[in-house]
C-alpha cells in the first residue's frame, strides 16, 4: 500500500454524509450517489439539548467543567463556539468524505440486503413464497419460540390500568390456586418484614429441575430477601436523566411497584449514586498517540465493563459470549452518528461453557407480546407480574414459576434461575417441535481424484474417523453415510447384513440419482463394522486412480438428495477446482495480480450455483462444511458459498500434502478431531431481540436470514461467531438501560430440543463522552472488519480499505471536536480507543485487506471468511498477534493452574525493535505459534529448552519443543500449553530461525513496522493526524 492508498478514491466533491443512520451504507459503492450534501438538519437535530440536566452520565466531565459535551451537542456551540479550539477542525465542513461506513440515510429503513451479505440475493428472496421462508418442507414449528405472539388475552388491559384488575382474589399460597396480585390495600403498607410467605411444599415441583452444577452456583448468589415491597411509588415525570426514586422504565402513568428484587428496580438509585461520583475515568484519559508508544497492556486486552450498578452488572452476560461495540448505548441515532463509531453486537452463542445452567420446565416464561424470555433484567411489579425489558409489556407470572427449585421455596419468582442467569439453557417442552427432533446425521463427501489421493489426505480422514467414530456426538439413532467422487459419483451401500460395503457408481452427473436410497445412510451403531471396513479400505481403493476430474457440484447434489429427508451435516473434502458437471468453475486468479497495488478482482462468486444449493440445503436443515486442501487455486469465493449460506464452516489448508507439508497435516489432524467430536446442534434457529427503539439490520456470519431477524442455522457449532449491526430507530430518551437477547433453538445430538438464551443489559447515555468511555475497541474493530469484508465484495478492496482508515479518522475527529475540552497538539485519543488506529492498521495489513504484497486469492478470501466467522477473541489474535519474549521468563506474576505454574510474560509491540538477537520470541497468531530464535540466543535457552548446543544446531522445520527436565523447558511448555488451551482449535508451533522460510510470515506480522508497500504505525498515525487536522 502506498501512502496514496489512503487518499480518497472517490472523494472529489463528496461531502461527509452525516450519517444519521449507520446502517446501509456499507452496502453501496461509495460512488453510487449517496454523497448526500451536508444536511443542515444535522446540527439542529438535537434542539436545545444542552440545557437539559445531565443524562445518566456515568462519568460526565461536564460536572467539573463547563459542560463541554452538552455544549458541543448544541447547534450553536459546535466548533465555531468560542469555547472551542480555534480552527483545529473547521466547524461546518467536516472532513471531505472519502469513504466511510457511516453514511446518511435519515429515517430510512435499512437498505438491505447488499450483494455481499448473507441474505439471499434479491432474486431469491423477493417472493414471499420462497421456499425457505416458511420451512414448508420441514415441519418444525417455531411459532412458540420465534414467531409473533398469539393474540393477546383480554387481561392485556392490565397494561394500561392504573390499578390492578379489581377482581383479584387473595388466596393463600398453599391453596395452590392463583397467588393473586397484592390487593390495593397492601400496596400502601409495607408488608411485615418477617419471612416471606409460607413455603409450599410442592410435591409436583417436578416440571422444574436444574443441573446440580447450576444449582450450586445459583445457591451462592445472595439476594436480599423480600424487601418492604409493593410500596406505591408515584410515577415521577421523569426527565431523561436518572432520579433516585424513578423506576427504570416509565410507562404511561401505570402505578409502579418497588420491585422485590435488586434488579432493574433499584437501578435508578444505584446509577444516580454512580453519577454523583462521576469523574474522568481511565477510559477517557487523553492519550497523545504520537507520544505514547507503549499502549499495549501487559496481558490480554480486557473488554470494558458496562457502567451499570454492581448488582445488575454481576448478572450480566459474559463478554466472551455477548459483546457490544459500545457498552454505553447512545440515546439517539444522532448522537451515535456524532460518535462515528459502529453500533453492533458480537456473539459467540454456542461457545463451550464450563458452567451452563440448564432448566427443564413445562412452561418457559416469555413475554406475551414480543416473546422475550424472562431474564435477569426484567422487573417484577409484584410477585405476580413482570414487565418485559424489551417491549415493556406487563406479563403474568405463571403459577409454577412461583416455586423456586433452587431454594425449594415458594413465592420468590425473582430468585428463579431464569432471573438469576443471563446465560441459560432450557430443555424445550413438546410445543417447541412438530416433528420429533432429528437424529444426528453425518455424511462425508470425499474427493478421490488423482490429485486428492496424491496429497494423502484420505488416510488422515479415514484414520481420524476410525479413531473417533465412537466420539461422534449422537445417540442410538445416529446415522452416517459416505459419498466419494472424481468425475463420477460413488455411493456406498452399508446396509446391515452385507458382508462388505458395496460401491455404487453413478456416472450420469447431469442428473444424479440415489441408486439405493434406503441403504446409503445407515444407523451407525447397527452398521459400525461395515463403516469401519469402508474406512479401512477407502484409501487403497483409489490409490491407483488416474481420474483427474472433479465433479463436486453433482456430488453435492447427491448429498442434498440423500440428506433431504432428515437434515444433518455434510462434510466435503475438496482438493481442486471442480471442472465437470453442475457448478464447474474456471480458474480466475491471475498470479500477476496477487500483489495488486489497488484492487483485487474475483472476490465475489463466479456462479450462484453453490449459493442456491446452499439455500436448498438450508431449507432441508442440511449444513455443508467445506474442507479445502489444495495447492492450487480452487475459487473459494465461489465454493465458500455452499457453507456460508447453509451455516456450515470452511477450513482451508493451502499446500496440503501429507509428506511435503507435515505441519499442515498436523493442523488438519487436530482440527478434524475437534470438528468430529465437538458439540453440534441441528435444525437450529437464532433470533436476536433488542429493546424497543433499537433495530438490528445487518448480520455477519454463516447462516441464511429466514425472516427479518431469524437466522436459519441447519447446524450450529461451538466455534462459530456472529456479528450484527444496529441502529437506533427511536430515541431512547426515557430509558436508563436497554437489553439484547439472543435465543438459539436447536436439537442436541441426543435428540433434545433446547433453547440457549443470552441476555445482555447496557446503560443508555446521553453524552458523547460517555459513549466514548464505553467503547469496546476490540469489538469495534471486529465489527468494522466484517463490514469491510462486505464492502470489499460489494464495492472494492480499496473502498473497504479507505473506509477502515476513515473509521479511525472519523471517530478521533469526533472525539477531538466534540468531547475534548482542552486544546492540545498531537493525535489525541481517549485511552479506551488508543489501540484503535493500531488495530485498523493491523487490519489493513492483514491478509484479507493487504495490497502490494503477494497474497493468493483463495488465502485472501479465506482470511475474509475468518473475519466474518471467528469469535472475537480468536479474530483479534489473527489480526493483531501477541508477541512475547520467552527466553528470560520468570515466575513473577505467574498463574497457578492445577498445580502448574504458567508464566505470564508481557505482551510486546509488534515491531522488530522489540526483537533482539540474543533472545527468543513467541508470536501467538491464533491458529499458528511462531517461536523465533535469535542468532545470538543464550546457550542456556538453546540447551535447556531446545536441547541443542548451538544456534546452528537448531533444526530447520522444528515443530515441537522437546520435553526436557529443566525449569526453562517446563516453563515455556506450560506457557504454550496454556495458550493452546484457551482456544478450541490447535495452533501449530513453528520454531524458526533467520534462515527459515517462515521468517517472512513472522516478520509480516510486525504490524508497526514499515514495509515496501505499507506505512509504519507511526506514519499511519501521522496520516491520521493530517486528515483530522484538515
Contacts with Zn ion by CB under 5 A lie at 367, 369-370, 372, 388, 390-391, 393
C-beta of 403 vs 426, nearer to Zn ion: 426
Residue 371 and residue 689: Cα distance in Å, rounded?
Answer: 9
C-beta of 386 vs 573, nearer to Zn ion: 386
Residue 481 and residue 442: Cα distance in Å, rounded?
Answer: 6
C-beta of 369 vs 767, nearer to Zn ion: 369
- Shortest distance, CB of residue 741 to Zn ion, whole angstroms? 10
C-beta of 388 vs 720, nearer to Zn ion: 388
Other C-beta atoms closer than 10 Å to the C-beta of 327 total 28
Nearest to 732 by CA among 677, 690, 682, 675: 690
CB 34 within 8 A of CB 17: yes
C-beta of 369 vs 813, nearer to Zn ion: 369
C-beta of 377 vs 941, nearer to Zn ion: 377
Give the DSSP H or E segment for 218.
helix 212-220
CB 490 within 8 A of CB 695: no
- Shortest distance, CB of residue 390 to Zn ion, whole angstroms? 5
- Shortest distance, CB of residue 423 to Zn ion, whole angstroms? 19
Residue 61 and residue 770: Cα distance in Å, rounded?
Answer: 9
C-beta of 6 vs 249, nearer to Zn ion: 249
Other C-beta atoms closer than 10 Å to the C-beta of 306 total 23
C-beta of 390 vs 784, nearer to Zn ion: 390
Residue 245 buriedness (CB in 10 A; 0-12 / 13-18 / 19+):
middle
Beta bridge partners of 753: 747
C-beta of 74 vs 368, nearer to Zn ion: 368
Residue 256 and residue 163: Cα distance in Å, rounded?
Answer: 10
Q: What b-and-e string marks burial along 957-995, b requiring 16 or more CB atoms within 10 Å of the CB? A: ebeebeeeeeebbbbbbbbbeebbeebbbebbbbbbbee
- Shortest distance, CB of residue 315 to Zn ion, whole angstroms? 19
CB 883 within 8 A of CB 922: yes
DSSP for 186-201 reads HHHSPPPSSSPSPP--
Residue 728 and residue 764: Cα distance in Å, rounded?
Answer: 11
CB 298 within 8 A of CB 906: yes
C-beta of 322 vs 373, nearer to Zn ion: 373
Residue 385 and residue 378: Cα distance in Å, rounded?
Answer: 10
- Shortest distance, CB of residue 396 to Zn ion, whole angstroms? 13
- Shortest distance, CB of residue 149 to Zn ion, whole angstroms? 9
* Phi, psi dihedrals of residue 481, rounded to the nearest 5°: -155, 165
CA atoms within 13 A on the CB side of 426: 27
- Shortest distance, CB of residue 419 to Zn ion, whole angstroms? 15
Beta bridge partners of 481: 443
C-beta of 372 vs 621, nearer to Zn ion: 372
CB 506 within 8 A of CB 512: yes
**CA 846 from centroid of its chain's CA atoms:** 19
C-beta of 27 vs 390, nearer to Zn ion: 390
- Shortest distance, CB of residue 692 to Zn ion, whole angstroms? 8
Residue 199 and residue 194: Cα distance in Å, rounded?
Answer: 13
C-beta of 737 vs 840, nearer to Zn ion: 737
Beta strands in 810-917 (DSSP E): 828-830, 882-885, 895-897, 900-902, 907-908
C-beta of 386 vs 746, nearer to Zn ion: 386
**Strand pairing of 423-427 and 358-360?**
parallel
- Shortest distance, CB of residue 387 to Zn ion, whole angstroms? 9
Residue 675 and residue 470: Cα distance in Å, rounded?
Answer: 14
- Shortest distance, CB of residue 364 to Zn ion, whole angstroms? 14
- Shortest distance, CB of residue 710 to Zn ion, whole angstroms? 17
Nearest to 467 by CA among 533, 532, 542: 532
C-beta of 84 vs 368, nearer to Zn ion: 368
Residue 953 and residue 956: Cα distance in Å, rounded?
Answer: 9
- Shortest distance, CB of residue 391 to Zn ion, whole angstroms? 3
C-beta of 241 vs 687, nearer to Zn ion: 687
C-beta of 367 vs 782, nearer to Zn ion: 367
- Shortest distance, CB of residue 743 to Zn ion, whole angstroms? 13
C-beta of 254 vs 1028, nearer to Zn ion: 254
Q: Is the peptide bond preceding residue 113 cis, with omega within 30 degrees of 0? A: yes
CB 362 within 8 A of CB 400: yes
Q: How far is CA 954 from CA 958, 962, 973, 995, 1003, in A?
A: 8, 12, 17, 11, 19
Residue 230 and residue 186: Cα distance in Å, rounded?
Answer: 7
- Shortest distance, CB of residue 324 to Zn ion, whole angstroms? 20
DSSP for 447-469 reads E-SHHHHHHTHHHHHHHHHHHHG
- Shortest distance, CB of residue 730 to Zn ion, whole angstroms? 15
The radius of gyration of the chain from alpha carbons, rounded to an integer in Å, stands at: 30
**CA 799 from centroid of its chain's CA atoms:** 24
Helix/strand/coil percent split, the chain, to 5: 30, 20, 50
- Shortest distance, CB of residue 389 to Zn ion, whole angstroms? 8
Nearest to 414 by CA among 373, 384, 390: 384
Cell numbers for 95, please give them.
472532513
- Shortest distance, CB of residue 180 to Zn ion, whole angstroms? 23
- Shortest distance, CB of residue 699 to Zn ion, whole angstroms? 22
Amino acid at each position: 500500500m502506498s501512502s496514496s492508498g489512503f487518499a480518497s478514491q472517490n472523494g472529489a466533491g463528496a461531502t461527509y454524509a452525516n450519517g444519521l443512520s449507520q446502517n446501509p451504507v456499507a452496502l453501496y459503492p461509495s460512488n453510487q450517489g449517496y454523497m448526500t450534501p451536508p444536511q443542515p438538519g444535522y446540527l439542529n437535530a438535537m434542539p436545545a439539548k444542552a440545557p437539559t440536566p445531565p443524562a445518566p452520565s456515568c462519568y460526565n466531565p461536564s460536572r467539573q467543567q463547563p459542560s463541554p459535551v452538552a455544549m458541543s451537542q448544541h447547534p450553536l456551540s459546535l466548533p465555531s463556539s468560542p469555547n472551542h479550539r480555534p480552527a483545529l477542525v473547521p466547524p461546518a465542513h467536516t472532513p471531505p468524505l472519502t469513504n466511510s461506513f457511516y453514511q446518511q440515510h435519515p429515517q430510512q429503513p435499512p437498505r438491505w440486503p447488499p450483494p455481499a451479505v448473507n441474505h439471499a440475493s434479491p432474486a431469491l428472496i423477493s417472493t414471499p413464497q420462497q421456499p425457505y421462508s416458511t420451512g414448508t418442507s420441514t415441519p418444525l414449528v417455531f411459532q412458540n419460540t420465534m414467531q409473533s405472539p398469539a393474540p393477546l388475552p383480554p387481561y392485556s388491559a392490565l397494561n394500561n390500568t392504573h390499578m390492578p384488575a379489581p377482581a383479584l382474589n387473595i388466596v393463600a399460597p398453599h391453596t395452590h390456586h392463583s397467588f393473586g396480585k397484592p390487593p390495593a390495600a397492601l400496596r400502601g403498607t409495607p408488608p411485615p418484614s418477617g419471612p416471606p410467605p409460607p413455603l409450599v411444599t410442592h410435591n409436583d415441583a417436578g416440571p422444574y429441575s436444574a443441573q446440580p452444577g447450576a444449582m450450586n452456583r445459583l445457591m451462592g448468589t445472595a439476594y436480599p430477601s423480600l424487601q418492604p415491597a409493593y410500596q406505591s411509588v408515584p410515577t415521577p415525570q421523569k426527565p431523561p436523566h436518572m432520579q433516585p426514586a424513578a423506576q427504570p422504565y416509565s410507562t404511561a402513568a401505570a402505578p409502579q411497584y418497588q420491585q422485590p428484587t435488586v434488579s432493574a428496580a433499584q437501578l435508578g438509585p444505584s446509577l444516580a449514586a454512580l453519577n454523583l461520583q462521576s469523574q474522568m475515568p481511565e477510559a477517557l484519559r487523553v492519550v497523545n498517540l504520537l507520544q505514547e508508544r507503549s499502549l499495549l497492556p501487559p496481558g490480554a486486552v480486557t473488554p470494558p465493563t458496562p457502567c451499570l450498578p454492581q448488582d445488575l452488572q454481576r448478572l450480566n452476560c459474559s463478554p466472551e459470549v455477548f459483546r457490544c461495540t459500545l457498552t454505553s448505548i447512545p440515546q439517539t441515532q444522532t448522537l451515535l452518528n456524532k460518535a462515528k463509531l459502529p453500533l453492533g453486537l458480537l456473539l459467540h452463542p454456542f461457545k463451550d461453557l464450563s458452567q451452563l445452567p440448564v432448566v427443564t420446565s413445562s412452561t418457559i416464561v416469555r413475554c406475551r407480546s414480543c416473546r422475550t424470555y424472562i431474564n435477569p433484567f426484567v422487573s417484577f411489579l409484584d410477585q405476580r407480574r413482570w414487565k418485559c425489558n424489551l417491549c415493556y409489556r406487563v406479563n403474568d407470572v405463571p403459577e409454577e414459576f412461583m416455586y423456586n427449585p433452587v431454594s425449594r421455596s415458594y413465592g420468590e419468582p425473582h430468585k428463579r434461575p431464569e432471573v438469576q442467569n443471563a446465560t441459560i439453557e432450557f430443555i424445550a417442552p413438546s410445543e417447541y417441535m412438530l416433528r420429533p427432533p432429528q437424529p444426528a446425521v453425518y455424511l462425508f463427501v470425499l474427493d478421490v481424484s488423482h490429485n486428492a489421493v496424491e496429497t494423502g489426505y484420505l488416510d488422515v480422514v479415514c484414520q481420524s474417523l476410525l479413531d473417533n467414530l465412537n466420539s461422534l456426538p449422537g445417540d442410538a439413532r445416529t446415522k452416517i453415510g459416505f459419498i466419494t467422487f472424481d468425475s463420477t459419483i460413488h455411493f456406498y451401500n452399508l446396509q446391515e447384513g452385507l458382508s462388505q460395503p458395496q460401491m455404487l457408481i453413478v456416472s450420469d452427473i447431469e442428473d444424479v440419482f440415489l441408486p439405493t436410497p434406503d441403504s446409503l445412510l445407515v444407523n451407525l451403531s447397527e452398521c459400525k463394522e461395515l463403516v469401519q471396513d469402508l474406512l479401512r479400505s477407502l484409501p487403497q481403493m483409489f490409490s491407483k486412480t488416474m481420474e483427474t476430474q472433479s465433479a463436486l457440484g453433482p456430488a453435492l447434489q447427491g448429498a442434498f438428495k440423500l440428506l433431504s429427508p432428515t437434515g444433518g451435516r455434510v462434510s466435503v473434502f475438496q482438493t481442486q477446482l471442480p471442472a465437470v458437471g453442475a457448478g464447474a468453475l474456471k480458474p480466475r486468479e491471475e498470479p500477476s495480480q496477487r500483489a495488486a497495488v489497488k484492487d483485487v478482482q474475483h472476490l465475489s462468486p463466479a456462479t450462484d450455483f453453490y449459493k442456491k444449493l446452499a439455500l436448498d440445503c438450508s431449507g432441508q436443515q442440511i449444513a455443508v462444511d467445506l474442507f479445502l486442501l489444495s495447492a492450487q487455486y480452487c475459487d473459494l469465493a465461489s465454493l465458500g458459498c455452499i457453507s456460508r449460506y447453509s451455516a456450515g464452516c470452511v477450513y482451508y489448508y493451502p499446500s496440503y500434502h501429507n509428506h511435503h507439508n507435515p505441519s499442515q497435516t498436523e493442523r488438519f489432524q487436530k482440527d478434524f478431531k475437534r470438528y468430529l467430536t465437538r458439540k453440534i446442534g441441528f435444525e437450529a434457529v437464532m433470533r436476536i431481540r433488542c429493546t424497543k427503539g433499537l433495530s438490528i439490520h445487518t448480520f455477519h456470519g454463516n447462516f441464511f436470514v429466514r425472516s427479518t431477524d431469524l437466522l436459519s442455522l441447519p447446524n450450529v457449532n461451538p466455534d462459530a461467531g456472529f456479528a450484527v449491526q444496529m441502529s437506533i430507530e427511536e430515541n431512547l430518551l426515557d430509558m436508563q438501560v436497554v437489553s439484547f437477547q439472543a435465543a438459539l433453538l436447536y436439537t442436541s445430538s441426543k435428540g433434545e430440543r433446547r433453547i440457549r438464551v443470552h441476555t445482555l443489559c447496557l446503560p443508555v447515555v446521553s453524552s458523547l463522552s460517555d459513549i466514548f468511555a464505553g467503547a469496546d475497541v476490540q469489538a469495534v474493530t471486529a465489527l468494522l472488519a466484517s463490514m469491510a469484508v462486505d464492502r470489499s465484495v460489494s464495492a472494492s478492496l480499496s473502498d473497504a480499505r479507505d473506509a477502515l482508515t476513515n473509521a479511525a479518522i472519523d471517530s478521533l475527529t469526533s472525539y477531538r471536536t466534540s468531547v475534548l475540552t482542552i486544546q492540545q497538539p498531537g493525535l489525541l485519543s481517549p485511552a479506551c480507543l488508543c489501540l484503535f488506529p493500531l488495530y485498523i492498521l493491523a487490519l489493513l495489513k492483514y491478509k484479507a485487506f493487504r495490497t502490494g504484497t503477494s497474497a493468493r486469492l483463495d488465502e485472501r478470501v479465506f482470511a475474509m471468511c475468518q473475519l466474518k466467522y471467528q469469535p472475537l477473541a480468536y479474530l483479534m489474535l489473527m489480526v493483531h498477534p501477541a508477541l512475547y519474549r520467552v527466553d528470560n521468563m520468570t515466575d513473577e506474576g505467574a498463574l497457578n493452574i492445577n498445580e502448574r505454574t504458567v508464566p505470564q510474560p508481557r505482551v510486546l509491540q509488534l515491531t522488530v525493535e522489540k526483537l533482539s538477537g540474543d533472545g527468543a520470541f513467541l508470536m501467538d497468531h491464533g491458529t499458528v505459534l511462531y517461536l523465533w530464535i535469535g542468532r545470538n540466543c543464550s546457550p542456556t535457552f538453546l540447551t535447556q529448552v531446545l536441547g541443542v548446543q548451538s544456534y546452528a544446531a537448531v533444526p530447520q522445520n522444528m515443530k515441537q519443543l522437546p520435553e526436557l527436565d529443566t525449569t526453562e523447558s517446563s516453563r515455556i511448555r506450560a506457557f504454550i500449553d496454556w495458550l493452546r488451551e484457551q482456544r478450541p482449535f490447535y495452533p501449530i508451533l513453528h520454531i524458526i530461525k533467520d534462515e527459515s522460510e517462515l521468517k517472512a510470515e513472522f516478520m509480516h506480522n510486525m504490524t508497526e513496522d514499515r514495509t515496501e508497500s505499507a506505512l509504519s504505525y507511526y506514519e499511519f498515525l501521522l496520516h491520521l493526524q493530517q486528515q483530522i487536522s484538515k
